[in-house]
Amino acid sequence: MIAVLGLLVGVVLGLVFQPDVPQGLEPYLPIAVVAALDAVLGALRAWLDGIFDDKVFVVSFVSNVVIAAGIVYLGDRLGVGGQLSTGVIVVLGIRIFTNAAAIRRHVFHA
């Protein structure tokens, strides 16, 4: 519950203050958001399944963002940033839709 409250407070603060993202970090922001969304939906799925662990959520959230940003950074350094960004988005997108489907099945029993 504290994690959800923290997420909501963070979203509200972001909307109110509208912070500027440094130009050097702009390519990594969409990847970080998708990685964080994957972790949040995974946590919601785990909570609905009754196996949620806050430590696992925090580690998953941070590691997803760091690993995804690291892959994109490596791709930028190698000159193939667009291809690796697409790969990260596809993999995380598949995970997001898988978790969303599991949540939908659990909530609507369908």
The two three-digit tokens of residue 14, written as one number: 């972001």
According to DSSP, residue 21 is labeled P
> What is the phi-psi region of residue 18: left when phi exceeds 0, alpha when psi lies from -120 to 50, beta otherwise?
left
Of 28, 46, 48, give the one whose Cα is nearest residue 36: 28
pTM of the model: 0.82
Q: What is the pLDDT of residues 57-95, one digit of tens each?
A: 999 999 999 999 999 999 999 988 788 889 999 999 999
81: burial class by Cβ within 10 Å (0-12, 13-18, 19+)?
Answer: middle
Strands (E), 24-89: none
